Structure 1
Amino acid sequence: MLGTPTGAERTLGRAFASAVAEFVTTGSVRDRLPCAPATAARIRHGRASRTSAKCDDRHMRGLELRRSPCIQSATVTKRPRSDSMAYLRGFIPWIVAGVVTSFDWRWGALGGLVSGLLLLVLERRRGVGLDALILEISSVVYFAVIAVVAVTRPHSVLADHVDVVSFAWLAATAWGTLAIRRPFTVGIAKRQTPREYWEMPEFIRVNNHITSAWGAGFTFIAVSLAVLGAVDAPLWAGITARVAGLVAPAAFTKVYPARAQARLSAAPAPLAAVPQQSPEGADAP
């Protein structure tokens, strides 16, 4: 004979009845019964112990907790959102201008301005904050000035040095944001990092280093192009300088944050300072 049913058996019976009723009415069930096969066998043969019943209760309560919308939303928000294309999107106007300038620098400046404005509007409509669009705003300002000069003075001497000026502007943007303690990479990093990490010194330090890497890359390209232009170097030398100056900070941006996070995780937690109490009866200083 079967004894008095335990709490786990009652819960299992209710879940089984609900599943059968759902199967009859809809033809399917949403979830499998939260019961291990061994537990079901023990219940069928009437040998379920109090220990297994307690474990089943805890197991089922855990399932209900994991299915809670609050727990699920908290788990989702803890995950950093990966946005590896954020940096590349900021350079779209420069890529457009670089391609079109090979035909006419006036159309290159206008193409960079139009693509920069379009990118800025689209990002704002997506809800991206202005602190994450420093590079895009700087690009629009640059191409607006260059477009005015190119249209009004198409034979300006600036046409022969627009590549040097463009990378010098990017370098000034990177170093300028560091000077005012607003690295342009911080806004991009915030789109990929949970809010609770934004004020951590390590987060700010990592972005200072990444912005410095991009500033160094832009500066290297600008100086290299200026020197190569002065000595009338071949075209491949300028292409090599561009590739080296862009690939190096891009690789640093990809690798350095992960290494910094690993180093921070491996570091031992600092011991909390315990205030020393004076012995009983001793006069306080």
Structure 2
Amino acid sequence: MSFWSMILAFSPWVAFKLLLQLPVQNELLLLKGAIVVAALICAYRAIKGLDKGIIAWGSGLFFLLSLIMVVGLTNIWYMKHLGLFSSGTLAALTWASIVQGKPFTLVYAKQKVAMQYWDSPGFIHKNYKISGAWGVSFSIGLIDAFVRQLYPEMPGYMSEIIDDGAMILAILYTTHLSKAPKEMMRTDSVDA
């Protein structure tokens, strides 16, 4: 899974997060706009058949629900807990993919790896490790969002450092493992 594959896979979330950083006075309008853009990206990717995995479909459902709750209903309770819901969605989807025996990164890795390796223990093991790193990253984001709920006076930059730092580490780990030698793709069993 390359850096750009990750960006594309999480493009609704990347757009959502980046748009929320814009210096706009009307924060509600900004939030609604960011949700609309993210939902449109999900819809476009689904219509074009660009996404087939649990992250894509879960993201689509999350942003559809957010369209209803924030854009349609302006539900204040939902908006106050949006950080928990977004981080929780990503963490739950990632861990669910691992528990199901289909780490979410397999969908993206198969786009870059020859079909002969798809069932190899090394390839599958590598994807469990990468998906696990993302699960840890999203779980850190969830814990961070929960702490923000408990301590709203906590400076926003601290939360961003924690959340972004966990994602940067997951990206670096993914990039490192994706460049691992071909021996990692062996077809015999893999020791943990």
The answer as to whether partners of 1:83 and 1:191 remain within 8 angstroms in 2 is no
Cα offset for 1:114? 0.9
Which is further off, 100-109 or 240-249? 100-109
Distance in 1 of aligned mates of 2:74 and 2:20: 12
RMSD: 2.4
Q: Deviation string for 1:6-39 (max 9, x for gaps)?
A: xxxxxxxxxxxxxxxxxxxxxxxxxxxxxxxxxx
Return the match for 2:85 from 150, 157, 165: 165
Any residues of structure 2 matched to 1:161-240 within 5 Å, and which? Answer: 161-231=81-151, 232-240=153-161
Task: Choose between structure 1 and 2 for higher RCO, CA contacts under 8 A separated by at least 6 residues.
Answer: 2
User: Residue 175 of structure 2 aligns with which residue?
Assistant: 254
Distance in 2 of aligned mates of 1:255 and 1:101: 29
Q: Deviation string for 1:94-124 (max 9, x for gaps)?
A: 12222444632223222211121112333x2
User: Residue 10 of structure 2 aligns with which residue?
Assistant: 91
User: Residue 41 of structure 2 aligns with which residue?
Assistant: 115
- The verdict on how the C-alpha distance between 1:90 and 1:257 changes in structure 2, with shifts beyond 3 A counting, is closer
User: Residue 144 of structure 1 aligns with which residue?
Assistant: 64
Distance in 2 of aligned mates of 1:257 and 1:95: 21
Count residues with an aligned counterpart: 180
Q: Deviation string for 1:169-204 (max 9, x for gaps)?
A: 000110011111111100111111111111111111
Cα offset for 1:83? 5.2
User: Residue 24 of structure 2 aligns with which residue?
Assistant: none
Cα offset for 1:245? 1.5
Cα offset for 1:152? 3.9
Superposition TM-score, scaled by structure 1 size: 0.57
- Share of identical aligned residues, percent? 18
The answer as to whether partners of 1:109 and 1:143 remain within 8 angstroms in 2 is yes
Structure index of larger Rg: 1
Q: Secondary structure at the match of 2:101?
A: coil
Cα offset for 1:264? 6.7
The answer as to whether partners of 1:178 and 1:211 remain within 8 angstroms in 2 is yes
Superposition TM-score, scaled by structure 2 size: 0.83
- The verdict on how the C-alpha distance between 1:220 and 1:168 changes in structure 2, with shifts beyond 3 A counting, is same
In the TM superposition, structure 1's runs of 4+ consecutive aligned residues that sit over 4 Å from their partners are: 262-265
Distance in 2 of aligned mates of 1:257 and 1:99: 26
The answer as to whether partners of 2:42 and 2:60 remain within 8 angstroms in 1 is yes
Distance in 1 of aligned mates of 2:67 and 2:51: 26
Distance in 1 of aligned mates of 2:71 and 2:164: 30
Distance in 2 of aligned mates of 1:209 and 1:83: 15
Q: Secondary structure at the match of 1:85?
A: helix
Amino acid at match of 1:249: A
Structure 2 runs not aligned, ≥5 long: 22-26
- The verdict on how the C-alpha distance between 1:254 and 1:194 changes in structure 2, with shifts beyond 3 A counting, is same
